[in-house]
Amino acid sequence: MTPPASLLPAAREIERGTILVLTLDLRQRIRYCSPAMAQATGFAPHELVREPLQRLRHPDMPMRVMRELWEALEAGVAWVAPFKLACKDGGHCWARASFAPVVDRHGGLSIVVVLTRPGAIHVRGAEALYAAMRNRTTAWLETLAAHRRELPDVLRW
């Protein structure tokens, strides 16, 4: 049973103009967390470093999205999409997430993640899409197609 909305932690918002940054290793573990990222989620940086990225994935965000993210990165392709972050207080924070594979100065491969404040229309589109995906029906395909027809940039930022 879902608790009443009045008992749930308030949703957080990334401040306009704020850029959150993470770096990840190829095992999906956080190597660096910017102070702005920590502030947005309520975690201290040391609570996130060496933790899997899953620690920041809100349970409402379908695992299929995470699989597609890593498939793209493993193929050397950047990935940009809405990302529902889990906050320490149990709340959430929506972000426009850009993941890109990069070669560091030592020749090793890392993933750089830049998160910014998304537009309200993007959040609504992502919420509808992720809800349809969580319901494990093919309705999510129709939802995605409908949003792309109505608002071509909803999920392609």
Domain CATH code at residue 59: 3.30.450.20
Residue 149 is assigned to a structural domain of this protein = yes
Residues 133 and 150 in one domain: yes
Residues 84 and 42 in one domain: yes
**Are 18 and 116 within 8 A, CB to CB?**
yes
- Residue 153's domain spans which residues? 119-157
- What is residue 154's predicted lDDT score, i.e. its pLDDT? 43
Task: Report the candidate in 83, 78, 77, 70 with the shortest Cα–Cα distance to residue 99.
Answer: 78
Domain count for the chain, please give it. Answer: 2
Residue 78 is assigned to a structural domain of this protein = yes
Task: Report the candidate in 58, 56, 68 with the shortest Cα–Cα distance to residue 140.
Answer: 68
Residues 127 and 106 in one domain: no
Task: Report the candidate in 142, 69, 55, 124 with the shortest Cα–Cα distance to residue 101.
Answer: 69
Backbone torsion region of residue 113, taken as left when φ is above 0, otherwise alpha when ψ lies between -120 and 50, otherwise beta: beta
Residue 97 is assigned to a structural domain of this protein = yes
Rounded to two decimals, the pTM is 0.79
Residue 146 is assigned to a structural domain of this protein = yes
- What is residue 104's predicted lDDT score, i.e. its pLDDT? 78
- What is residue 143's predicted lDDT score, i.e. its pLDDT? 54
At residue 31, the 3 state secondary structure works out as strand
Residues 102 and 144 in one domain: no
Residue 7 is assigned to a structural domain of this protein = no
- What is residue 131's predicted lDDT score, i.e. its pLDDT? 84
Last residue of some domain: 118, 133, 149? Answer: 118
- What is residue 138's predicted lDDT score, i.e. its pLDDT? 56
Q: Report the C-alpha gap between 25 and 57 in whole angstroms.
A: 16
* Predicted confidence pLDDT, tens digits, the chain (157 residues): 455 544 567 788 999 999 999 999 999 999 999 999 999 999 999 999 999 999 999 999 988 889 889 999 988 899 998 999 999 999 999 999 999 999 878 888 899 999 999 988 889 888 888 888 878 655 555 555 555 544 444 444 4
Residue 9 is assigned to a structural domain of this protein = no
Residues 142 and 67 in one domain: no
Residues 57 and 103 in one domain: yes
- What is residue 142's predicted lDDT score, i.e. its pLDDT? 58
Residues 108 and 128 in one domain: no
